[in-house]
Structure 1
Amino acid sequence: MIFNVAQLLKSPVGTSIEADIDAQDVQLDEDLKITRPLSGHARMRRINQGLLVDGWVDVTLKLTCTRCLKEFEQPMHVAFEERFNPTVDVLTGASLPPIEEDDVFPIDEHHQLDLTEAVRQQVLLNIPMVTLCKEDCAGLCAQCGKDLNLGPCECEPEVDMRMSVLKTLWQNQAQS
């Protein structure tokens, strides 16, 4: 996901180029397991300070279900839009002052733009807080740990001792 943007940096403001993204064996993060090649599309536009890059990627992650703890594959379509500023002037080769803004990514001294970090951040932001293998996942039994997706377990429901008084009251009322 590295693009040489030297010619685009020499172009007038408003010039744009488009490129397809096809990354085999990309590693975005230690905790993210990507199961299929990452693919997508990016558009790079020249702006006053550098480049504005927008696009999307399709990625399939291996996640763990929050309810039943099984691993499953989750396909995701992630859009991104980020600014990139050069660290070296493309015409003179002189170093430019460091980027002070947090939301701007650097273009290296060889005029190479690396989308990996921008894509990684957007993928992390798009992972659901609760990851489910299926919408109606039943989870695990709290007492015996059986996977309730495979069928009910033989456990008796736990009775909250604080509510036992209500149970006796209900039984007395049913006998009357």
Structure 2
Amino acid sequence: MIFNVAQLMKSPFGSGAASEGDIHEEQVQLDKDFKVIGPIDGHARMRRVNQGLLVDGWVDLTLELECARCLKHFEQPMHVKFEERFYPTVDVVTGTPLPPIDEDDVFPIDEHHQVDLTEAIRQAVLLAIPMVPLCKEDCAGLCAQCGHDLNLGPCDCDEPEVDTRLNVLKQLLQNEKQS
């Protein structure tokens, strides 16, 4: 996911200079916490802006996630959009180092005038992962007592285990029924 942007950086700001490229990467591991299954495909557009580049685009990928209810691993296809700013670390004409940009949300254009989209895409994918990943919307989860996967059918447990602190409420309900 590396693009050479030397020619684009030589274009004057305000000229409307832009460049586009397709993304296709096989066997990419973006993060240790999730596994990418298959290739990452997408498209990126790079536009010359004041002090650097504005890069936007999208990627399609499939992640292996763990269901928050039944703990099974499942494949989650995703379409993730991204938009980030990239600033040069060296002057494209003279090759002299430039002062660092004092902003947290920017990415560097390296000394060889290359833009590496890997980190920008990794961050966009992390933000796109659901907070509670589910293998299916109506996943029944696991039995709290025996751990049986309730998606496969009901378990053999007699009665759900109730917190003993709730016995007072149970007695109130029984008293109300008797009155």
1:79 is matched by which residue type in structure 2?
A: K
Report Cα offsets for 1:18-58 as digits up to 9, x if no partner: 10000111111111200110010000001121110000001
1:169 lines up with 2:175 in the alignment: yes
Q: CA RMSD in A?
A: 1.3
Cα distance in structure 2, aligned partners of 1:136 and 1:168: 33
| Distance in 2, Cα, partners of 1:78 & 1:168 | 53
The AA in structure 2 aligned to 1:112 is Q
Matched, 1:158 2:161: yes
Task: Show structure 1 runs of 5+ residues with no match.
Answer: none
Question: By how many angstroms is 1:157 displaced?
Answer: 2.3
Q: Which residue of 2 aligns with 1:12?
A: 12
**1:51-104 per-position Cα deviation (integer Å, ceiling 9, x unaligned):** 100000011100000000000001111101100001010100111001211111
Structure 2 residue 110 is the aligned partner of structure 1 residue 108: yes
1:17 partner letter: S
1:40 matched residue in structure 2: 42
3-state SS of paired residue (2:64) = strand
Distance apart, 1:134 and its partner CA: 0.1
Structure 1 residue aligned with 2:31? 29
Alpha-carbon separation, structure 2, partners of 1:46 and 1:9: 7
| CA–CA separation in structure 1 for the residues paired with 2:39 and 2:168 | 54
Aligned equivalent of 1:74: 76
For the residue of structure 2 that corresponds to 1:124, the secondary structure is helix
TM-score (norm: length of structure 1): 0.93
Amino acid at match of 1:158: E
For residue 7 of structure 1, what is the amino acid of its counterpart? Answer: Q
C-alpha change, 1:158 and 1:32, in structure 2 (3 Å) is closer
Q: Runs of at least 4 residues of structure 1 off by over 6 A?
A: none
**Could you tell me how far apart the structure 2 residues matched to 1:61 and 1:164 are?**
45
Distance in 1 (alpha carbons) for counterparts of 2:82 and 2:94: 31
